[in-house]
Structure 1
């Protein structure tokens, strides 16, 4: 399985088998992110069956989400050293095993290990490699491809939520988990679709890494594998390989992106937990509050696809980075307006606006990451980016809940989330502005100090003389003499004589 035949290509094909990659990634997001959201439907069942409080029962969902993001770099490492197909298939087996074993749980601790850790680890092996494969197959229509692939989370939640509820009513929570375990095995089918591709930039391998592998092979022929020197050499080569894969961690642009992602992830998570309680607190009925969440999910799907299509148009193609900042900043502004929206007619436009731009920036996260680190390191970089989501996802809902308990209102919690997302957008925009300023200064200085251009003046006539080397028939001298108009005594005289001597 590790010896996979790679499709040869000098550039991303922007179609063909790439659409099968998009379909595979779409199914991966359904089987990972949508199933993770649907685990919250089991909340009441778990609480009733095991007679535990809200806090202990809520840890199941938190562990799944946190482990999925924390172990995302592990998924990148497996896909880089084996293949994307192997990583996703292995992840599908682990996730399915966790759900099936969870159906036999006798305590919440059992569910923490099976449904939480094991299933979360399996999702981590699938998520970031599948997203990275889309970036390898698409360049010109990358944002649209990501929009379709990432919409699986919203579409899957919209379809799976009532289905899971029906399964619980028909077969109890144990039977529903068992069926979900079988459904998640479709990740193995998704992995089989991920045909590896070799791009032109993938052939650019640093000489140090190549020498390291060659010397390692020669050395292992002469020395026993059990030798201490061999083990040390293997460790050195492994460090070289990992250093090459994660060299982008030293890039200033990626460091700024990582810090920005931390603030963005902190702000985006609490709304999905507290929108319904906030709507109930301002007098909205239960059915209307559920309608707000459904609206948020459906518009999120529309944002995934349409914003991806828009940013692939020619007039926005070079401004995808700015569009990402715009989407994150607008979600932050929506948060700031939320405390004054206290009726259903006002909350519905909020759900539409927030949901659309939430889907928009989620689509552009891989695009912005690829712009910074390139396609070759995209899988590893996405693993790190999604890893950075883990801690904010884990701590932001409890912090927001503590603020609600302390202040007696949702205002402080929503304002903190809003300012967090706005700061994320401003930080990236400020960093891009500084980078452009530094680029324009050397160009300006280079034009002023260009040795090829020199100016001599003789009265009112200016002559610009430039000489360049002409490698042709053994001759290496070429002269170019240009004279400008001489405004004198009302007469305009233009002189352009090769080898003209002003004396």
Structure 2
């Protein structure tokens, strides 16, 4: 079932809150299945007698494809709809988890878990998040924040749960039980009721022309997305840090004499801080009094993340580790709601395509991050260089976001949402004033 609307303004509520719930559940399952899995590294490394770098590839491929599937997932949404795309992704994810139970080598898991599970969740991620842009305008900040709290909830629930399942059922049993839990992705698909805008018959084309139209929109969008390209680069660097946090912090704590369960609880601390911050952030992001500051949220949060990661290898006490994890969670809780508002304000009606491209670049960072950190650790047998490297990547990402905001506010660039190539004349200066406001409010021009 779909919901139709006559105008261009989203309903800003109604069934949209059920769609937010769907997105929340999808984010939670993705975090629990792909991100809160640091406890699996030592188990698989010991069982298959492999290097940390080899085992890290399993998760880097999964997390990478989770994001790299973004553009393809966006295309499927345009062609077949949101609900069908999410359902296909659920089937792939569950199937990959089930056959991972029969793994005989790390290379088997590269395919079963890395490729199948990662691709499945990649087909779920883009539509369940991008659909919020069709349901919300004025309350988009709140909707995004509530949705993204699912990631923190996933850390909270699955970090200790994964450890308990491993201790009681082994890693093979873990794959079977997580596959059953992933069956809730079908619930996520059922809750989505996409909005279909009413169109006259005159503007409705044939199916062949409409596929053609999707390709043309992608090409036109990419050709004019000058500011957006720097957002993609900054997001690539930011996910270089995100993808390695869980895979470094838990083994680091275990290496310093912390029990496995206590080490996994560090991710829970991060998750609690993230979810609380995102709830608070959702309440204030839509306030007009914060208009001036919203564009700088990604910069500040990435600098905090980078600084915390650089300081982490010098933490010898569990309490200090927990404080740093809490700081990371707070910064993560602020970053994504603010970043997606910037993306929405820059791309406007091209938001669904933008989400897919952002997730694709996130995949680049996710694929390269864990093996890069694993190679550094295997060659130095120390956590200092991996933490320092990914921390600097976070700092650089913050610098790029700062440059993006300053460039936009200088009015020397064009909003790629409009598809213009030339700087408009002085008579069009009003459009720039409106756009400059939208970059901080997240309100479509």
> What's the TM-score bracket when you normalise by the shorter of the two chains?
0.7 to 0.9
Equivalent residue for 1:378? 351
Which is higher, the Rg of structure 1 or of structure 2?
Answer: 1
Equivalent residue for 1:326? 300
Equivalent residue for 2:66? 68
Structure 1 position 5 matched with structure 2 position 2:
yes
Equivalent residue for 2:119? 121
Are the aligned partners of 1:96 and 1:185 in contact in 2 as well (CA < 8 Å)? yes
TM-score, normalised with respect to structure 2: 0.82
Equivalent residue for 1:30? 28
Equivalent residue for 2:238? 264
Corresponding residue to 1:249 among 222, 230, 253: 222
Equivalent residue for 2:178? 180
Paired with 2:280 and 2:6, the residues of 1 have a C-alpha distance of 29
Paired with 1:280 and 1:247, the residues of 2 have a C-alpha distance of 50
Structure 1 residues 44 and 326 mapped into 2: Cα distance closer, same or farther (>3 Å)? closer
Structure number with higher helix proportion: 2
* Cα offset, 1:239, TM superposition: 4.3
* Cα offset, 1:84, TM superposition: 0.5
Equivalent residue for 1:468? none
* Cα offset, 1:400, TM superposition: 3.1
Report which stretch shifted further, 101-110 or 120-129: 101-110
Report which stretch shifted further, 155-164 or 93-102: 155-164
Paired with 1:413 and 1:50, the residues of 2 have a C-alpha distance of 24
Corresponding residue to 1:391 among 364, 368, 376: 364
Equivalent residue for 2:432? none
* Cα offset, 1:243, TM superposition: 1.9
Corresponding residue to 2:342 among 360, 365, 368: 368
Structure 1 residues 131 and 46 mapped into 2: Cα distance closer, same or farther (>3 Å)? same
* Cα offset, 1:318, TM superposition: 5.5
Q: Deviation per CA, 1:131-177, whole angstroms, max 9, x where unpaired?
A: 01122212222222212211212212322344444444555444442
Matched residue SS, 1:377: helix
* Cα offset, 1:113, TM superposition: 2.4
Are the aligned partners of 1:7 and 1:195 in contact in 2 as well (CA < 8 Å)? no
* Cα offset, 1:25, TM superposition: 0.5
Matched residue SS, 1:7: strand
Structure 1 position 356 matched with structure 2 position 330:
yes
Q: Deviation per CA, 1:12-61, whole angstroms, max 9, x where unpaired?
A: 22221111011101111122232123554444554555554544333322
Structure 1 residues 422 and 165 mapped into 2: Cα distance closer, same or farther (>3 Å)? closer
Are the aligned partners of 1:283 and 1:343 in contact in 2 as well (CA < 8 Å)? no
Report which stretch shifted further, 353-362 or 337-346: 337-346
Q: Deviation per CA, 1:317-362, whole angstroms, max 9, x where unpaired?
A: 4642222222222222333444554434443332222211112212
Paired with 2:77 and 2:402, the residues of 1 have a C-alpha distance of 32
Paired with 1:173 and 1:405, the residues of 2 have a C-alpha distance of 23
Paired with 2:259 and 2:214, the residues of 1 have a C-alpha distance of 57
Paired with 1:174 and 1:342, the residues of 2 have a C-alpha distance of 33
Matched residue SS, 2:128: helix
Structure 1 residues 307 and 132 mapped into 2: Cα distance closer, same or farther (>3 Å)? same
Paired with 1:429 and 1:185, the residues of 2 have a C-alpha distance of 41
Structure 1 residues 204 and 134 mapped into 2: Cα distance closer, same or farther (>3 Å)? farther
Corresponding residue to 1:110 among 108, 111, 115: 108
Report which stretch shifted further, 37-46 or 60-69: 37-46
Structure 1 position 305 matched with structure 2 position 279:
yes
Matched residue SS, 2:274: helix
Equivalent residue for 1:430? 403
Number of residues paired by the alignment? 417
Matched residue SS, 1:140: coil
Equivalent residue for 2:267? 293
Structure 1 residues 21 and 166 mapped into 2: Cα distance closer, same or farther (>3 Å)? same
Paired with 2:318 and 2:168, the residues of 1 have a C-alpha distance of 34
Paired with 1:292 and 1:424, the residues of 2 have a C-alpha distance of 25
Structure 1 residues 434 and 380 mapped into 2: Cα distance closer, same or farther (>3 Å)? closer
Q: Structure 2 regions of 5+ residues with no counterpart? A: 414-422, 429-445
* Cα offset, 1:102, TM superposition: 2.4
Paired with 1:409 and 1:48, the residues of 2 have a C-alpha distance of 19
Paired with 1:420 and 1:54, the residues of 2 have a C-alpha distance of 21
- Within 5 Å, give how 1:28-67 maps onto structure 2: 28-47=26-45, 50=48, 52-67=50-65
Paired with 2:49 and 2:254, the residues of 1 have a C-alpha distance of 26
Equivalent residue for 2:431? none
Are the aligned partners of 1:34 and 1:152 in contact in 2 as well (CA < 8 Å)? no
Instruction: Kindly indicate whether structure 1 or structure 2 has the higher relative contact order, using CA contacts under 8 Å at least 6 residues apart.
Output: 2
Matched residue SS, 1:438: coil
Are the aligned partners of 1:71 and 1:125 in contact in 2 as well (CA < 8 Å)? yes
Q: Structure 1 regions of 5+ residues with no counterpart? A: 218-233, 448-503
Paired with 1:277 and 1:89, the residues of 2 have a C-alpha distance of 35
Paired with 2:158 and 2:266, the residues of 1 have a C-alpha distance of 18
Q: Deviation per CA, 1:384-436, whole angstroms, max 9, x where unpaired?
A: 11111122222223333444555665444333323322222222222332332
